[in-house]
Amino acid sequence: MPTYIVTSSNCNISQEQKKIIASGITKTHHEVTGANKYFAQVMFKETSKGNHFMGGKEVVTPEIFVQGFIRAGRTKDIKKKLIISLKDCLIEVLQLKQSQIWVYLIDLEHTQMLEYGEILPEPGKEAEWFSNLSAELKEKLSKLD
């Protein structure tokens, strides 16, 4: 956790741009929330032409949507900073207008998430959670952080 799903509509994101965006989202989440980088996952999806509508009309302009599934417990100020930083990252990489960027954060209770085979800790308890993992998993995650 978090898991960010970046969906592009009417716009092709190159592999290089995906790497930059994934790195930017990971860095942003880490810096804003303090969560370890190894928790951040970024996935990309593309909407096929003719499959995006607003107000019942087909959208033909480039649009980017980000759904961020994050652990509940963050303050409104942290969430606002996170949303704005994510928007800024996408604008910088993709050269889009801010009106073409959509960001949604979805809070999930840490007790309702399983990652790496373990129930996730509440925000701020990552070190304790990490200390109880197997040596093999600690080594894997340390390489991602």
* The residue to which tokens 């509440």 are assigned: 122
Q: How many domains does the chain have?
A: 1
pLDDT in tens, 84-137: 999 999 999 999 999 999 999 999 998 998 888 888 888 888 888 888 888 998
> How many residues make up the chain in this entry?
145
C-alpha to C-alpha distance for 85 and 89, rounded to whole angstroms? 6
The domain spanning residue 116 has which CATH number? 3.30.429.10
| Structural domain that includes position 58 | 3-144
Helix (H, G, I), strand (E, B) or coil at 40: coil
Model confidence at 14, pLDDT cuts 50, 70, 90, reads: very high
Q: What is the pTM of this model?
A: 0.89
